[in-house]
Amino acid sequence: MTTSTKGLEGIVATQSTISSIIDDQLSYVGYKIDDLAENSSFEEVIYLLWNLKLPTAADLEEMKNALADNMEIPDAIIDHLRSYDLSTVHPMAALRTAVSLLGLYDTDADVMEPEANKQKAIRIQAKIATIVAAFSRIRNGQDPVKPKKDLGYAENFLYMLNGKKAEAIEIEAINKALVLHADHELNASTFTARVCVATLSDIYSGITAAIGALKGPLHGGANENVMKMLTEIGDEENAIPYIEEKLNNKEKIMGMGHRVYKNGDPRAKHLKKMSKELTKLTGQEKWYNMSVKIEEYVKENKGLPANVDFYSASVYHSLGIDHDLFTPIFAVSRTSGWLAHILEQYDNNRLIRPRAEYTGPELQDYVQLTQRG
């Protein structure tokens, strides 16, 4: 049997046509992330990931309408969100549970035909944004806001979150973040989703499992922890001494470096640009300036450039979004990729069942209970 690799690093576990990371270049179905981030709406990217081609104008309109038509969530989900202990529950735990519960209200949840799964994908992608926004408002003592069918996905999310029309730059920032986080090859949560549905479990189980994996601070929780770090630093002059102390104590600097990229995360520069614009617009430039200082210092001293989580933190903060909502917003975006991989897994399924390299004791003789010392 082949010797194990810790964390499956370097192991190719499957073939996929959805996204790739080759020579530090991320692409979705062969389209560079830079081109998509600068030119595409999130709805276009959803269509691309699920259909492996860019949409025509008619295709895109159909996708937008389908998402808008399915954004409302059952009242039972709202009531369930209200029942949580809102003083202690983390939004990712709430989201994980709500998505699982959502499956109970879908009469086609266990129907496995391709078209049924495609329709469920639409419903899940549409509703997950509504769940995050509803939870945020409920815990702040506000009533959830219903989506508007004439708004695009990013704008609808901000409208449901804040209860008012968003500014153009805010919509651009959220749309760009959704595009950049949509898929990332066989990351931990995507692999989790594929392992789950490879048993022919239903699509809701796959998304719920993926949310559970994304919840961890070494995956989706990084951007929340970046903002926690920036808040602890407080002022620009404290940035380098704070980071020096962390590095001297051999502590991890969240948002720096990446397991896959050797020369830098290609997504980071897009959110770095948005961070600069938004922090200037909102009079919070210290968060951007502080981030640049940290990035430059860590890169020079540890050879670790910033990843996509690093600047998404100050972008979301500048939009007035609660810090513990950063990872749920990541989930809203990554659901598009999870669904693409789930559909791909269903299309050419084989149970995912790797082996483990055993490192325990050799075979032993069983000793009866009365003879054990």
CB distance 96 to 211 below 8 Å: yes
Average pLDDT over residues 327-349: 97
Query: Structure tokens of 169?
Result: 């730059």
CB distance 311 to 181 below 8 Å: no
Q: Band of the pLDDT at 1, cuts 50, 70, 90?
A: low
Quickly tell me which residue has 């989930």 as its tokens.
Answer: 331
Per-residue pLDDT tens over the stretch 311-325: 999 999 999 999 999
Query: Which amino acids are annotated catalytic?
Result: 258, 309
Domains and CATH numbers, the chain: 33-217+323-347 (1.10.580.10), 222-318 (1.10.230.10)
Tell me what pLDDT residue 260 has: 75
Q: Which residue did the predictor score with more confidence, 3 or 51?
A: 51
Please classify residue 282 by burial: count the beta carbons closer than 10 Å to its beta carbon, then call 0-12 exposed, 13-18 middle and 19+ buried.
middle
Per-residue pLDDT tens over the stretch 346-368: 999 999 999 999 999 999 999 99
Judged by DSSP in three states, 52 sits in coil
> Would the pLDDT of 33 be above 70?
yes
Average pLDDT over residues 114-119: 97
Q: Band of the pLDDT at 258, cuts 50, 70, 90?
A: confident
Average pLDDT over residues 113-127: 98
> Would the pLDDT of 208 be above 70?
yes
Tell me what pLDDT residue 2 has: 65
What is the C-alpha separation between 328 and 125, in angstroms, rounded?
Answer: 13
What is the C-alpha separation between 37 and 179, in angstroms, rounded?
Answer: 6
Tell me what pLDDT residue 364 has: 96
Q: Band of the pLDDT at 5, cuts 50, 70, 90?
A: confident
Q: Band of the pLDDT at 9, cuts 50, 70, 90?
A: confident
Query: Structure tokens of 287?
Result: 């968060």
| pTM score above 0.85 | yes
Averaged pLDDT score across all residues of the chain: 94
Q: Band of the pLDDT at 189, cuts 50, 70, 90?
A: very high
Share of the chain above pLDDT 70, in %: 99
Share of the chain above pLDDT 90, in %: 86
Tell me what pLDDT residue 12 has: 87
Query: Structure tokens of 11?
Result: 């192991």
